[in-house]
Structure 1
Amino acid sequence: MFHVKHSPVKGRGAQSDAVPTRFGLATREADGDWRDYVESLDGPPVNLRTTVTEERPKSILTFNQSPDVPFDRSVNAYRGCEHGCIYCFAHPTHAYHDLSPGLDFETRLFAKPNAADLLRVTLAKKGYVPRPIALGTNTDPYQPIERDYRITRAILEVCLEARHPVTITTKSDRVLMDANLLEEMAREKLVAVAISVTTLDPVLSAKLEPRCATPAKRLMALGKLVEIGVAVHCSISPIIPAITDEFMEGIIARVAELGVQSVGWIPLRLPHEVAPLFREWLSVHYPERAGKVMNIVREMRSGRDNDPNFHSRFNPQGVWADLLRTRFKVACRKKGIGKTRFELDSSRFRAPQVDGQLRLL
């Protein structure tokens, strides 16, 4: 269920509080009190405040066996993401905690201050076998609250000490706050960074991903990382038909000029509550083309809003998908750019110190 807004919610991607129902959690029924009429009387919320709750998990390294992703382990320093990207596939994770996958996801955040300590203990365990740890697989490790919490930096410091490889995915130029660490890790072949660039239009970006760094800042960050020797990848994702696909060739040209040698694209995915949230966003920002956008999405997804199946979820089919794929290949060929598989070094891993105990070797 959604509370439909007739005007944009300022500074946020989601346009309503989606009520979570998938996990059998109780939902509030209208009973005639003031809360049922607050929005009709006062209008939609404006300048929603972001809150952060600190949590202390007992473990931090998550393993997966998904056959279509290039990593088997990840660390997420935060839950929820203030960037507010309306297309983010992580929105539904808040539903599990009886919170809205809509506005709650981008305003009610959770931070894990002990993440680096937990990782240190995990890496020090006897028998641990290193493989690259992915940061930013669920929510952005460099979202605005990282400026104060610096949890991602602490994680990188542990990984540098242990000579443990890391991959980072972000939409923020805040990654440059850790340029000194990244440069040192790059010399040891311990890090690769992917930055997502969705559009070159800052006005469109402000609607799609309202609290992300502007496209210009993300491009600047890509260029700076190239300069200091970090392996970088530009992800043109997601590509939203009839909204962002027009920028594909321009983004490829810009990153090629910056010396980026790896670029890829990911089609729009709309799992679970993301589909109605995105439809609502379209109705607010692009009502005149909402039907066209969703028709193309369904054409690429075998008539559905979303394809959840391994492999095919990242590999849309049909005429529109073939057109996007061809455009991407032609643009990359013209600029002499491709998709690189970065080989990070796990061979020099050494268990980190725990509780001040020195390593024997």
Structure 2
Amino acid sequence: MSRQTYAMRALGRGSSSNQVSRFERLDRTEEDDGWDAGEPLPPLRTEVSIEVPRSIITYNKSPDLPFDRSINVYRGCEHGCVYCFARPSHAYLGMSPGLDFETRLIARPDAPQVLQRELVARRYKVAPIAMGTNTDPYQPIEREHGITRACLQVLSDADHPVAIVTKGTLIERDIDILSDMARRGLVRVGISVTTLDARLSRLMEPRVPAPKRRIAMIRRLAQAGIPVRVMASPMIPALTDPELEAILAAGKDAGARSASWIMLRLPREVSPLVQEWLAQNYPDRAARIMARLREMHGGAEYDAAWGRRMRGTGPYAEMVAQRFNVAVKRLGLQTAGTPMRCDLFRPPVLPGAQMSLF
């Protein structure tokens, strides 16, 4: 298959290639064999397989993160953001972090039941659970599978705090649960707005709601009494970082209470995918963008060290950080998330178990 034919198949996807997993012994290359005769192949369709998880809460000890546990009910993400730092996780499944990540998805429909079992365990100690830390809980397949909503209901019934990060408008479907949890101080939501430029958004995050629609999401959630944070993430040097102040202002005007930002991260397979995308879409700026990123990571394309991986170091990173600090102060936005209550937690009652008398 020629590169041209393969690219035509990938229309509407963030990645235009499907490099092999780093764990594979053999590589593959695309060559024009002369057989396609310029005829387009059918577009790549989304495939969803089912996984039965033994556990659903993942714990971390990273000082860079404001939480120590998270839930991801889907593997892979149909949103197809070319810059997604979670793409390398697909390599552990024997699939490509490229197109496989956004077309070969895995759903975990038993997650709500597994979550119940983990919350009821004697050794469990309550603390806010994060959703959307790896893949988006409100990506398009949630409409059919409803796993995120079911997990939210488990957490709500147990009075358990949860922090959600998403770009998906499907979160509006769950305003009934979220607004009720907000009244009890049990939820906060972060909406990621990478750019306000609809064309740029469509190029780098092809199946994500348009920027204006995400700002409308912030407004609707805020009007329902749900604490919302506008996330200017990731900031891409010389491409989206000039919009930082405008993104924060739009979020504030829509009702966001707090704000955050993260610089573009290029771990493992993400770097060649982003560089390929830059060469195709912004060849005039590709070298400049990569030079800035290397400047912030000591000459490397990425530095995974704690304290540096999220924002980088050096003059350019410091300048963006200062711009953010000035903007949030001027706009009256908070940088810390809205506190959530942990004292209300009640372990769920499993089906068939005896309920407590007290």
Determine helix, strand or coil for the equivalent of 1:154.
Answer: helix
Q: Percent identity?
A: 45
Quote the offset at 1:319 in angstroms.
2.0
Q: Secondary structure at 1:52's aligned position in 2?
A: strand
1:320-335 counterparts in 2 under 5 A? Answer: 320-335=316-331
Q: Aligned partners of 1:279 and 1:121: how far apart in 2? A: 43
What stretches of structure 2 of length at least 5 have no aligned partner?
Answer: none
* Normalised TM-score (structure 1): 0.93
Kindly tell me: are residues 41 and 296 of structure 1, through their superposed partners in 2, closer, same or farther at Cα, counting changes over 3 Å? farther
Q: How does 1:36-185 map to 2 (within 5 A)?
A: 37=33, 42=38, 47-185=43-181
Q: 1:119 to 1:5 in 2, by over 3 A?
A: same
Q: Offset of 1:321 from its aligned partner?
A: 1.2
Measure the CA separation in 1 of the matches of 2:144 and 2:34.
34
TM value normalised by structure 2: 0.94
Distance change (3 Å), C-alpha of 1:159 and 1:104? same
1:239 Cα deviation (Å)?
A: 0.1
Equivalent in the alignment of 1:201: 197
Quote the residue 1:343 is aligned against. Answer: 339
Question: After superposition, where does 1:189-338 map in structure 2 within 5 Å?
Answer: 189-338=185-334
Matched residues in 1 for 2:83 and 2:35: separation?
A: 25
User: Per-residue displacement from partner, 1:244-284 (whole Å, max 9, x unpaired)?
Assistant: 11211111111111221201110000000000000001011
1:312 is paired with a residue of what secondary structure?
coil
The runs of 5 or more residues in structure 1 that have no matched partner are none
Alpha-carbon shift at residue 308 of structure 1 (Å): 0.4
What is the distance in 2 between the residues matched to 1:306 and 1:4?
30
Tell me the distance in 1 between the aligned counterparts of 2:229 and 2:18. Answer: 34
Q: Any idea what the Cα deviations from partners look like across 1:302-355, whole Å, max 9, x if unmatched?
A: 111101001111232222112212222222232222313321111111111112
Matched, 1:16 2:17: yes
Question: Residues 165 and 352 from structure 1, CA distance in 2 versus in 1: closer, same or farther, beyond 3 angstroms?
Answer: same
2-structure distance, mates of 1:45, 1:269: 33
Give the secondary-structure state (helix, strand or coil) at the position aligned to 1:134: strand
Question: Do the aligned partners of residues 91 and 29 (structure 1) sit closer, same or farther apart at CA in structure 2, a change above 3 Å counting?
Answer: closer
Whole-Å separation in 2 of the counterparts to 1:327 and 1:40: 51
Structure 1 residues 86 and 39: CA distance shift in structure 2, 3 A: farther
Going from structure 1 to structure 2, the CA distance change for 1:310 and 1:43 (only over 3 Å counts) comes to farther
8 Å Cα contact 1:17-1:101 kept in structure 2? yes
Shift of the alpha carbon at 1:188? 0.8
SS of equivalent residue, structure 1 residue 221: helix
Q: Structure 2 vs 1, CA of residues 345 and 285 (structure 1 numbering), >3 Å: closer, same or farther?
A: same
Partners of 1:43 and 1:56 lie apart in 2 by: 40
Distance 1:215 1:72, change over 3 A: same
- How many equivalent pairs are there? 355
Q: After TM superposition, give the deviation of residue 41 of structure 1 in Å.
A: 5.3
- The CA RMSD over aligned residues, in Å, is 2.2
Separation (CA, whole Å) in 2 of partners of 1:111 and 1:162: 24
> Quick one: structure 1 residues 39 and 222, their matched pair in 2 at CA, closer, same or farther if it must change by over 3 Å?
farther
**Distance (whole Å) between structure 2 residues aligned to residue 222 and residue 240 of structure 1:** 22
